[in-house]
């Protein structure tokens, strides 16, 4: 992998991790369009580094919220801080269970399944379009809501389903305040990203990686900076009810992906 490729992949990962267009779906499409020779399979180490970068950008943006979450979990007081922390934990359960029980089945979906990616992008577009039309409210996230949002995050493991798009859309369609929906969506994924990174590191597969350190640094910095920008931008877009533009984008790319497999 070249420095330029690492830079591009870092930017793409940083943007699509937060913008509701599916980072996994775009990676699969890129492989299909450019070919595995032009866009080689990224090493596990490089993938872990990019995820670390986007996790760090989330932590930087929501540092005060994360400190409050940690305090809430360990104070064991029946206050709003503890309740919100508990809701974040509950939202993680569906995706964690799906990842543990169906790890091999999930991996099999990431092998150039362009037709699947195309249809899932259409589903993402529909969710975004419906959420954009939903009325603004001031409703908080309930315990039941947190489980439902968590289920949508588990479904978003599929390539082409945007995690942020699915969780934010689900939240808004449940009547939750838009800004609170975006905040909850981004906070709930941090523990899962860190957990997935820990699993990959402990697996021992990283030891075999020969990736150049400069490649890792460029990818990390690019993903981190792009992630900071995308995270702030996404919160602003959700508040202003501008998800429909991403819906149109997903429709166009999804139809294009389906057409690509047929013709």
pLDDT in tens, 203-248: 665 555 566 788 889 989 999 999 999 888 888 888 777 788 889 9
Instruction: Average the pLDDT over 44-73 and give the result.
Output: 82
The residue written with tokens 């439902």 in the block is: 148
pLDDT tens, position by position, 141-163: 889 999 999 999 999 888 888 88
CA distance 149 to 142: 10
CA distance 48 to 62: 21
Closest CA to 176 of 216, 136, 144: 136
Of 15-19, 193-197, 217-221, the one with minimum mean pLDDT is: 193-197
| 17 Cβ neighbours under 8 A, 6+ residues apart | 23, 54, 164, 223, 227, 230
Rounded to the nearest integer, the mean pLDDT of the chain is 82
Q: How far apart are the first and last CA of the chain?
A: 30
Domain ranges of the chain: 3-262
Neighbour tally for 208: CB within 10 Å: 9
CA distance 19 to 163: 9
> Tokens at residue 103, please?
């790890």
């Amino acid at each position: 992998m070249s420095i330029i490729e690492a830079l591009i992949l870092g930017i793409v990962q940083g943007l699509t991790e937060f913008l509701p267009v599916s980072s996994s779906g775009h990676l699969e499409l890129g492989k299909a369009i450019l070919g595995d020779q032009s866009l080689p399979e990224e090493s596990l180490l490089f993938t872990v580094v990019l995820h670390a970068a986007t996790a760090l950008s989330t932590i930087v943006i929501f540092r005060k919220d994360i400190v409050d979450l940690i305090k809430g979990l360990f104070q064991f007081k029946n206050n709003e801080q503890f309740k919100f922390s508990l809701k974040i934990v509950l939202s993680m359960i569906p995706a964690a269970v799906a990842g543990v029980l169906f790890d091999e089945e999930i991996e099999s979906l990431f092998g150039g399944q362009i037709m699947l990616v195309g249809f899932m992008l259409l589903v993402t577009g529909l969710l975004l379009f419906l959420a954009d039309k939903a009325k603004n409210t001031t409703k908080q996230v309930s315990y039941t809501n947190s489980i439902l949002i968590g289920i949508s995050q588990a479904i978003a493991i599929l390539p082409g389903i945007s995690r942020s798009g699915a969780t934010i859309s689900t939240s808004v369609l449940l009547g939750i305040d838009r800004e609170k929906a975006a905040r909850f969506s981004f906070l709930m994924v941090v523990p899962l990203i860190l957990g997935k990174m820990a699993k990959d590191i402990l697996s021992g597969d990283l030891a075999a990686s020969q990736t150049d350190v400069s490649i890792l640094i460029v990818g990390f910095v690019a993903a981190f900076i792009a992630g900071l920008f995308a995270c702030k931008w996404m919160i602003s877009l959700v508040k202003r009810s501008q998800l429909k533009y991403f819906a149109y984008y997903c429709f166009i790319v999804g139809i294009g992906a389906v057409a690509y497999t047929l013709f």
